[in-house]
Homo-oligomer: A and B are copies of this chain.
Amino acid sequence: MRIALLGGTGDIGEGLALRFAHDTDHEILIGSRDPEKARNAVEGYEAILEERDVEASIKGFTNEMAADRADVAVLSVPPYYAGDTVDAVAEKLDEDTILVTPAVGMKGDEDGMHYHPPSAGSVTELVASRAPDEVPVVGAFHNLAAGKLSNLDREIDLDTLVVGEGAAKETVTSLASEIDGLRVLDAGPLANAAEVESITPLVINIARHNEELHDVGVKFQ
């Protein structure tokens, strides 16, 4: 399968690229607004993987070209640019490209981080409303810290929640399950995304107030 990470030059893009490259045989496509930046990022990721004798297929592209080639495209850009990025690649998407969003809208103040959803109810639903009608949208990976994913020395024993419907949700569930130590749980349809996204400011608050917890994730039991 071809997995595109749009804005894959950033933190969560790096984390997902390294884990998918390390744990699976899928092709990874790093997208960027600037293809040169994408190729530089790929060099960095390959260097990390080579140290572990992992030969992976990772290539750098513009976001549009990455989306065009992808079976699954992960929108790894800041929440406020998620809509713009969907618009930018919309022509390259179709019913066979699953658009995955890990984006969370938050706002910080002196007390901590707070959930700050758009009027669509959640960033996941905003992305669904901006994507062409035929493109299946799935929410996933919201509650995984980029810092933990990117450090391949750190073992993962975490859950990720998926929201969405039908075959697209099943594909993303099975793909995400290929990351070692990641269990995928179904949180229902897109309408349930706000509660999934809300964990992110919470885990950031928990990391701030509890010394032993850093880059914290969640497990349901």
Contacts and interface: CB of A to CB of B under 8 A. Distances in A.
Interface of A: 109, 111-115, 157-158, 161, 185-189, 191-192, 194-196, 198-199, 201-203, 205-206, 208-210, 213, 216-221
A220 B192 contact: no
Contacts of A213: 185, 220-221
Contacts of A113: 195
| Best-buried of A161, A199, A205 by chain B (most CB within 10 Å) | A205
Contacts of A218: 218-221
A217 B185 CA distance: 13
A209 B188 contact: yes
- Quickly give the copy total for this chain: 2
A191 B112 contact: yes
A221 to B, nearest CB: 6
| Best-buried of A185, A194, A195, A216 by chain B (most CB within 10 Å) | A195
A205 B161 CA distance: 11
Contacts of A220: 203, 206, 213, 216-219
A221 B217 contact: yes
A208 to B, nearest CB: 7
27 contacts: A109-B191, A111-B189, A111-B191, A112-B191, A112-B192, A113-B195, A114-B191, A114-B195, A115-B195, A157-B221, A185-B213, A187-B206, A188-B205, A188-B209, A194-B198, A195-B199, A195-B201, A195-B202, A196-B202, A198-B198, A198-B199, A199-B202, A206-B220, A216-B221, A217-B220, A218-B220, A219-B220
